[in-house]
C-alpha cells in the first residue's frame, strides 16, 4: 500500500531514522505529501477495500496514527466518512484523540 501511495518511495526505510516503516499514514503525511491536497490525492488512490483494510489495521493497533499531523488526520477522516461512513470516521477520531496523538489546541471536528 505504501508503494501505491508513494511510488517515489525507493525502499521501505525511513530516510531519517534508517528504520523500516511500520505504518503507512505517518510516512505518507510526513515524508511524501507536499501538503494536505497532495495527501488527499494520495489516499484517494485507495479503493474501498484497501481503505477498509487500513481502518481495520488502525483499530487493531497494527497501523499507527502517531506522528500524523491533525490537518492530515482531518483529510483522512473525511475520506473514511465518505467511503465507510460516519461511525467508522468517529471511531478513528476517538482512537486518534485517545492515543494523545492530537496536540492540545488542535481539535478535529467531523462535518
Averaged confidence pLDDT in the chain: 81
Q: Is the pTM of this model over 0.85?
A: no
Q: Residue 76: which H helix or E strand, with range?
A: helix 70-84
* 60: Cβ contacts below 8 Å, ≥ 6 apart: none
User: What's the rounded mean pLDDT across residues 74-91?
Assistant: 96
User: What's the rounded mean pLDDT across residues 97-111?
Assistant: 55
Give a yes or no: residue 104 inside a domain: no
As for how many domains the chain has, the answer is 1
Query: Residue 70 is part of which domain span?
Result: 2-98
- What pLDDT, in 10s, does the model give residues 48-75? 999 999 999 999 988 888 789 999 999 9
Give a yes or no: residue 89 inside a domain: yes
Give a yes or no: residue 106 inside a domain: no
Give a yes or no: residue 107 inside a domain: no
DSSP string computed for 25-66: HHHIIIII-SSHHHHHHHHTTS-HHHHHHHHHHHHHTSS--T
Q: Assign 105 a pLDDT band (cuts: 50, 70, 90).
A: very low
Cell 479503493, residue? 47
Amino acid at each position: 500500500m505504501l508503494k501505491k501511495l508513494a511510488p517515489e518511495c525507493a525502499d521501505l526505510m525511513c530516510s531519517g531514522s534508517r528504520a523500516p516503516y511500520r505504518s503507512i499514514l505517518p510516512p505518507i503525511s510526513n515524508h511524501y505529501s507536499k501538503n494536505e491536497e497532495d495527501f488527499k490525492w494520495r489516499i484517494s488512490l485507495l479503493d474501498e477495500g484497501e481503505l477498509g483494510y487500513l481502518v481495520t489495521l488502525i483499530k487493531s493497533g497494527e497501523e499507527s496514527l502517531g506522528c500524523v499531523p491533525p490537518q492530515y488526520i482531518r483529510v483522512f477522516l473525511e475520506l473514511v466518512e465518505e467511503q465507510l461512513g460516519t461511525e467508522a470516521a468517529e471511531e478513528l477520531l476517538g482512537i486518534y484523540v485517545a492515543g494523545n496523538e492530537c496536540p492540545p489546541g488542535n481539535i478535529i471536528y467531523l462535518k
